[in-house]
Amino acid sequence: MTRFTSNAPRVPRLRRAYYDCRYGQLHLHQAVPPGGGFDEATALLCIPGLEADGGFFHSLLLPLGMDRSVYAVDLPGCGQSDPIGSPVGVADAAAALGDLLDSLYLRSVDVLAHGGGVAVALALQQQRSGAVRRMVLSEADEQQRALSRNLSCPVLLSQLPPEAQEAEPALRAFLGSAPAFVPS
């Protein structure tokens, strides 16, 4: 019996998907690890600023998706998620992300939040403290920094560089996972 072997580089598959939440469907930019998602590190949920979309994290999908599923979400009413009448509040956006975690059957996630998404991440941690393992908060204001000191999970306060992929080594060191992605 002949077995097919491929010399192709093992890289994450990038996908887009929609999942139901209380505001219709949420759009995701998703990285699936080369192993198909089995025996991987804790999934990473990326939360952009309010009024932004998950495409902000696109340059991090490949490097961080080498050993974990990465979900960069378009918040309700933003990006390619279903439109809604008026912007949702922070607590409501966090509740929609809770719906997403339920749909994906994720009991535990790491969270990377940027700008206005920091408030949503903090609300998600408050609503589902057992589900958030670690948090990386980029561009947190002083009040958010103070709140982050009282969380039950480890928090890294960071500033994502203009080329977000440059943050990959520091993110990987904090989140814990396989060696850095080296494109061929």
Q: What is the pLDDT of residues 94-153, one digit of tens each?
A: 999 999 999 999 999 999 999 889 999 999 999 998 899 999 998 888 999 898 888 888
Residue 51 near residue 77, CB atoms below 8 Å:
no
- Give which of 183, 120, 167, 169 is closest to 147, Cα–Cα: 120
Q: How many distinct structural domains can be found in the chain?
A: 1
Secondary structure of residue 155 in the 3-state scheme? strand
Residue 31 lies in a domain: yes
At a CB cut-off of 8 Å and minimum separation 6, what does 38 contact? Answer: none
Q: DSSP for 69-125?
A: -EEEEEPTTSTTSPP-SSPPPHHHHHHHHHHHHHHTT-S-EEEEEETTHHHHHHHHH
Residue 184 lies in a domain: no
Residue-range definition of the domain harbouring residue 167: 13-173
Q: What pLDDT score was predicted for residue 72? A: 95
Q: What pLDDT score was predicted for residue 1? A: 58
| DSSP class of 14 | E
In angstroms, rounded to a whole number, what is the distance separating the alpha carbons of residues 62 and 28? 15
Lowest-confidence pick of 19-33, 87-101, 167-181: 167-181
At a CB cut-off of 8 Å and minimum separation 6, what does 146 contact? Answer: none
Residue 20 lies in a domain: yes
Tokens encoding 89: 């509040």
Residue 183 lies in a domain: no
Tokens encoding 68: 């974990």
How confident is residue 181, by pLDDT bands cut at 50, 70 and 90? very low
- Domain containing 155 — which CATH number? 3.40.50.1820
- Digit-coded pLDDT (tens) for 41-80: 899 999 998 777 888 888 889 889 988 999 999 888 877 7
Tokens encoding 74: 């378009």
Residue 182 lies in a domain: no
Whole-prediction pTM: 0.86
Q: What pLDDT score was predicted for residue 184? A: 45
Residue 2 lies in a domain: no
Strands 43-47 and 70-74: parallel
Q: What pLDDT score was predicted for residue 182? A: 46
Q: What pLDDT score was predicted for residue 39? A: 59
Q: What pLDDT score was predicted for residue 96? A: 92
